[in-house]
Amino acid sequence: MDLTVSETDDKFRAEVREWLAANRPALPMPSGDSARGVPVHLEWERRLFDAGWSVVSWPEHFGGRDCSLWQWLIFEEEYYRAGLPQRVAQNGIFLLAPTLFEFGTPDQQERYLRRMAAVEDLWCQGWSEPEAGSDLAALRSRAERDEQRGGWRLYGQKCWSTRGAYCTHMFGIFRTGAPEERHNGLTYFLIDLRQPEVTVRPVARLDGDDGFADVFFDGAFVSDADVLGAVGRGWHVAMATAGSERTLSLRSPGRFTASADRLVSLLRSSAPQVRDDPRLRVAVADSWMAARAYKLSTDALVTRIADGASVGAEASLSKVFWSELDVALHETALAVQGPDAALDDEWMRGYEFALAGPIYAGTNEIQRNIIAERLLGLPRR
């Protein structure tokens, strides 16, 4: 792994930093999971797109800058260092887009990528169902053939769709084969939610935001041109999306190194009896080192990806690591603040969201099963 930073990358970092400093929106923004916050975030993300900073590693043709993955990591570091918020476009640009680049037809890429980067379309993920979470292959929502129109009719219910209440599109997996086919009878669809046969019901989270949606399908239409990958190969395509969700694409290290730096500043600016508490000092140092370790392991991963390797089951190791790191880091921040934590919206909301990390993108128990079976080669039972 070559850790030398090139002059070009240094210049790139300086350019990003300068642009973000000059164009930073008013912070903090209202939550991007609320009706009040979504338009504010959309405006900010459009500004990013117009200036060419939305998706730096994509080809220029789709609104990017043709940058390397290393430069994308630099962009992310600077973005979070500036205290900027998680993107409302994230499920599109960080989860679906890598899958579209890998499996999408040229027509699908033309129709969706640029609009997604410009937040003209907002995408949510439609995998979980009331009876299919960890055991995703048990899903029952189905697609029935509509020969006359050249496509499929969707029936069933998806749940936990993040930001679903505000999205125009969903990428989802539906059963096109028999239920007993499990993983083999699934197909990955790109769905326009703006049709009368779709009902979106917002679901409030404990923090009060309508962060989720239940989405009901009652014969919604998807054309053959919107099948991603082959019919019946949805599981295979979905696992590529899961790989992006569990590691660097959704959770770049910049997010954690920035929080760890803020945690160090929080401790340093605390009252002497807090600042000098050895347990807190050790906990802060642990979080800071874990964030650095995640950065270094991501650097190693990017080196391998640049050499042509794919991520595979290793993504599960990353997922367990960043989600546990995020919880520990926020717990430490609350301990440093003591009772004042209840008055601090930023760390408290960060903590509430961190608690979901071991659940979404596949629970950590499931990731440990994957690590045991596929990386360590242990028996299933």
Ligand X SMILES: Cc1cc2nc3c(=O)[nH]c(=O)nc-3n(C[C@H](O)[C@H](O)[C@H](O)COP(=O)(O)OP(=O)(O)OC[C@H]3O[C@@H](n4cnc5c(N)ncnc54)[C@H](O)[C@@H]3O)c2cc1C
Nearer to ligand X, 37 or 64 (CB): 37
Nearer to ligand X, 88 or 284 (CB): 88
> Shortest gap between Cβ of 159 and ligand X (angstroms)?
7
Nearer to ligand X, 54 or 90 (CB): 90
> Shortest gap between Cβ of 140 and ligand X (angstroms)?
13
Q: If binding is defined by CB under 6 A, does position 367 make contact with ligand X?
A: no
Q: If binding is defined by CB under 6 A, does position 223 make contact with ligand X?
A: no
C-beta nearest to ligand X: residue: 133
Alpha-carbon dihedral of residues 300, 320, 344, 94, nearest 10 degrees?
60
- Helices 278-306 and 253-268 cross at an angle (nearest 10°) of 160
Residue 245 among the catalytic residues: yes
> Shortest gap between Cβ of 238 and ligand X (angstroms)?
10
Helix, strand, or coil here: 161?
coil
Q: If binding is defined by CB under 6 A, does position 362 make contact with ligand X?
A: yes
Amino acid (one-letter) located at 366: I
Distance of CA 381 to the CA centre of its chain: 31
Stretch that binds ligand X, among 49-57, 146-154, 263-271, 354-362 (CB under 6 A): 354-362
Nearer to ligand X, 86 or 363 (CB): 363
Alpha-carbon dihedral of residues 192, 193, 194, 197, nearest 10 degrees?
110
Nearer to ligand X, 268 or 381 (CB): 381
Q: Name the helix (H) or strand (E) containing 279.
A: helix 278-306
User: To which residue do tokens 């569990």 refer?
Assistant: 246
Q: How far is CA 73 from CA 55, 247, 302, 357, in A?
A: 11, 13, 10, 21
Q: If binding is defined by CB under 6 A, does position 239 make contact with ligand X?
A: no
- Going residue by residue from 100 to 129, which x/- string records binding to ligand X, judged by CB under 6 A? ------------------------xxxxx-
Nearer to ligand X, 71 or 162 (CB): 162
> Shortest gap between Cβ of 127 and ligand X (angstroms)?
3
Helix, strand, or coil here: 23?
helix
**Among 1, 204, 240, 7, CA closest to 104:** 240
For ligand X, the binding residue among 108, 183, 363, 372 (CB under 6 A) is 363
For ligand X, the binding residue among 69, 285, 356, 372 (CB under 6 A) is 356
Q: Which two tokens stand for residue 36?
A: 């009040």
For ligand X, the binding residue among 103, 155, 221, 360 (CB under 6 A) is 360
Of residues 130 through 159, those in contact with ligand X by CB under 6 A are: 133-134
Burial of 319 (0-12, 13-18, 19+ CB in 10 A): buried
**# residues near ligand X by CB under 6 A:** 18
**How many residues are listed for the chain in this entry?**
381
Distance of CA 109 to the CA centre of its chain: 20
Q: Which of 7, 245, 314, 365 is catalytic?
A: 245
> Shortest gap between Cβ of 207 and ligand X (angstroms)?
11
User: To which residue do tokens 């295979």 refer?
Assistant: 236
Classify residue 245 by its DSSP letter: H
> Shortest gap between Cβ of 13 and ligand X (angstroms)?
31
Stretch that binds ligand X, among 21-29, 187-195, 290-298, 363-371 (CB under 6 A): 363-371
Q: How far is CA 52 from CA 16, 67, 92, in A?
A: 11, 11, 17
Question: Is 114:56 a contact under the CB 8 Å cutoff?
Answer: no
Chain positions contacting ligand X, by CB under 6 A: 124-128, 133-134, 160-162, 356, 359-360, 362-363, 365-366, 369
Active site residues: 245
